[in-house]
Amino acid sequence: MQITTDIYQRIVAAKIYIDENYREDIDLEQISKQAFLSRFHFHRLFTHIYKKTPHQYVTQTRMDAAKVLLAKEGISITDVCNSIGFESLGSFSSLFRKQNGYSPQYYRNIAWLKKKLEKEQPKKFIPHCFVEQLKIG
């Protein structure tokens, strides 16, 4: 499939729109308008370029943002859910578990534990090749 520079730039503009608006209730119609293409043509081209559908990309962007927020203290899981564009805590939790293999709470616990260990034992988080090269220890 041959894609012109103009079409490619329009698809990238739509991807940037997703990156900037994933917290909102956006749909394929809104996203495809950013590329000035029909929903069907946009879907086919986006999937060809990024190897995932626009919906999969929106979901992945939301899950990546959730991981960052879950690692922070002082933000409830419900607030994380709402701030990344989900309306239902149940659907967020089940999708998070499906994509990551564990619940948001479990992910949060592991992230907090890792932060604690990084502070207590920072040398354990330095790759061995650096330790050997710089003779750290």
CATH 1.10.10.60, domain 55-137, yes or no: yes
**What pLDDT is stored for residue 126 in this prediction?**
72
Of 14-18, 74-78, 121-125, give the lowest mean pLDDT range: 121-125
Q: CA 23, 26, 27 angle in degrees (round to 5)?
A: 150
Q: Cβ contacts of residue 26 below 8 Å, gap of 6+?
A: 17, 18, 58, 85
What is the band of 54 on the pLDDT scale with cuts at 50, 70, 90?
A: very high
**Positions of CATH 1.10.10.60 in the chain:** 55-137
Cα Rg for the chain, rounded, in angstroms? 20
pLDDT of residue 137 exceeding 60, the answer is no
pLDDT in tens, 72-119: 888 999 999 999 999 899 999 999 999 999 999 999 999 999 888 877
Q: Residue type for 21, please?
A: N
**What pLDDT is stored for residue 131 in this prediction?**
62
Q: How many CB atoms lie within 10 A of CB 24?
A: 10
CATH (residue range 1-51): 1.10.10
